[in-house]
Amino acid sequence: MRRKIFKTLKWILIILISLVLILAIVTYFYLKKPLFGKAAEGARLERMKKSPNFKDGIFHNLNHTPELTEGYSLLGVIYDKLFGYHPRLSPVDSIPSQKVNLLNLPIDSNVLVWFGHSSYFIQLDGKRILVDPVFSGNASPIPGTVKAFKGTDRYKVEDLPNIDYLIISHDHYDHVDYETLIKLKAKTKKVICGLGVGADFEEWGYKPADILEKDWNETIDLGSGFYIHTTPARHFSGRGFTRNNTLWMSYIFQSPTKKIFIGGDGGYDTHFAEIGKKFGTIDLAILEDGQYDVKWKYIHLLPAQVLMAAKDLNAKRLFPVHSSKFVLANHPWDEPLAKITELNQVQKMPLVTPMIGELVNLKNDKQVFKQWWIGVK
């Protein structure tokens, strides 16, 4: 009897080890897929090593930035995600949207069009900018796991005109979408990104001469009164199992008439006030407001902190993004917009809250937006 039990346990152990080995092999080969990009090497890596933000083989934030808030653990976060009660993560209804013909948009139109989450198109003073485009309908390296909400996929790469500057904040999958970027190659004149991220674009067939790869606190003179200033963010990076091997960014896009802050992702810190002090009044601050949780408050802004950051930046108007398309956190899908609208009753910062596809007039500070999320189940 004892021998029989031992034999059974032996076979169970063999099966478990075999499954682990198979999983490891499958994972190894899956990580070889082109969507994971390529690690920096050679001259690119040597330049990264010279950055004051690079130490011990990785990039670091300006100030100490724990991945989790004190008192929380990774196991606790996973347990809460799997077994906690989190209602209304996704809408039942289709997200309302509009669609404009961007291909026929007059070049003298000064507008912004949001595509949901952190993807948007800017046309200002004759330049066309595209930020963190994700049009594949999925924000994960595993197909079908982080799917876009119904109604949020009205725009495709084919709907876009040629892009002067493709701006990338960091390399997470909800900001760097392989399928979208492969299709965008023929339409993109220049890519602007943080140190290390250019290796991915080069691997995907973008010309090295068209990739402007920068550190924090640099200025790119685009000519004719246009500049892109690279500024810090408080976040992290990485595709696959690597972390912080590329630099996460925020930017100021400055035209002859406007300054727009492109915030990317990141938690609250002193850099917002420093940017505001250095660059003066910002006409429009685009800041993440979504996929937040008190458990990871150092790497994503909470709604009250979004308003604080906008004030630090001396912003005339605030456009809260990073919501209304994907489930990446545990809050109700419409909470980011509802909460910041409620909190803003005190600060009264002019909010830019368009529905997907709605034209935002960059020259009209008085434009009013409908609270489109109200009534969407």
Query: What CA–CA distances, in Å, run from 202 to 39, 41, 182, 190, 375?
Result: 11, 12, 11, 12, 45
State what percent of residues in the chain have pLDDT above 70.
97
pLDDT tens readout for residues 260-303: 999 999 999 999 999 999 999 999 999 999 999 999 999 999 99
Domain contains 173: yes
Residue 31: inside a domain, yes or no?
A: no
pLDDT confidence bin for 15, thresholds 50/70/90: confident
Residue 174 has pLDDT above 70, yes or no: yes
pLDDT in tens, 204-239: 999 999 999 999 999 999 999 999 999 999 999 999
More confident residue, 336 or 16: 336
Three-state DSSP class for residue 326: coil
d(CA 303, CA 309): 10
Is residue 141 assigned to a domain?
yes
In this predicted model, what pLDDT tens digit does every residue of 176-213 receive, in sequence order? 999 999 999 999 999 999 999 999 999 999 999 999 99
Burial code (b: 16+ CB inside 10 Å, e: under 16) for 41-58 equals eeebbebbeebebbeeeb
pLDDT (0 to 100) of residue 27: 65
Does a structural domain hold residue 52?
Answer: no
Residue type, 298: Y
Cα distances from 363 to residues 103, 119, 285, 359, in angstroms, run: 21, 21, 14, 12
Find the mean pLDDT for residues 86-96: 97
Does the predicted model carry a pTM greater than 0.75?
yes
Output the pLDDT for position 325.
Answer: 98
Query: Are the C-beta atoms of 318 and 352 separated by less than 8 Å?
Result: yes
Is the separation of the CB atoms in 97 and 355 below 8 Å? yes
Chain-centroid distance of CA 335 in Å reads 18
pLDDT at 358 over 80: yes
Domain limits at 227? 102-361
Has residue 322 got a pLDDT over 80?
yes
Question: Above 80 in pLDDT, residue 361?
Answer: yes
Q: Is pLDDT at 140 greater than 90 in this prediction?
A: yes
Per-residue confidence (pLDDT) for residue 17, from 0 to 100: 77
pLDDT at 22 over 80: no
Is 343 a residue whose pLDDT tops 70? yes
Residue 279 neighbours by CB distance under 10 Å:
16
Tell which residue, 170, 122, 105, has the closest CA to residue 319. Answer: 122
d(CA 102, CA 174): 23
Q: Using an 8 Å Cβ cutoff, are 225 and 233 in contact?
A: no
Is residue 16 pLDDT above 90, yes or no? no
Checking if the pLDDT of 144 tops 90, the result is no
- Mean of the pLDDT values across residues 142-146? 91
Long-range contacts of 39-47 (CB under 8 A, 24+ apart): 39/199, 39/242, 39/245, 40/195, 40/196, 40/198, 40/199, 40/245, 40/246, 41/199, 44/195, 44/196, 44/198, 44/199, 44/213, 47/195
Exposed, middle or buried: residue 367 (CB in 10 Å: 0-12, 13-18, 19+)? middle
The model's pLDDT over 33-65, given as tens digits with 9 standing for 90+, comes to: 999 999 999 999 999 999 999 999 999 999 999
Q: Are strands 188-194 and 163-167 parallel, antiparallel or unpaired?
A: parallel
Is the residue at 13 inside a domain? no
CA nearest neighbour of 275 among 62, 50, 123: 62
pLDDT at 31: 75
The Cα-based distances of 68 to 74, 75, 241, 247, 301 in angstroms read: 8, 11, 18, 20, 13
In a domain, 284, yes or no: yes
Nearest to 191 by CA among 175, 174, 207: 207
Query: Does 71 map to a domain?
Result: no
Higher-pLDDT residue of 240 and 354 is 354
Q: How many CB atoms lie within 10 A of CB 311?
A: 16
Report the alpha-carbon distance of residue 343 to residue 312 in Å, rounded. 16
Euclidean distance between CA atoms 118 and 266, whole angstroms = 12
Q: Is residue 241 part of a domain?
A: yes
Give residue 329's pLDDT.
97
Q: Is the pLDDT of residue 373 over 90?
A: yes
User: Dihedral of CA 160/164/166/167: which sign?
Assistant: negative
Instruction: Look at the chain and report how many structural domains it folds into.
Output: 1
CATH number at residue 153: 3.60.15.10
Using CB atoms within 10 Å of the CB of residue 142, give its burial: 0 to 12 exposed, 13 to 18 middle, 19+ buried. exposed
Distance in angstroms (rounded) separating the CA atoms of residues 163 and 123: 10
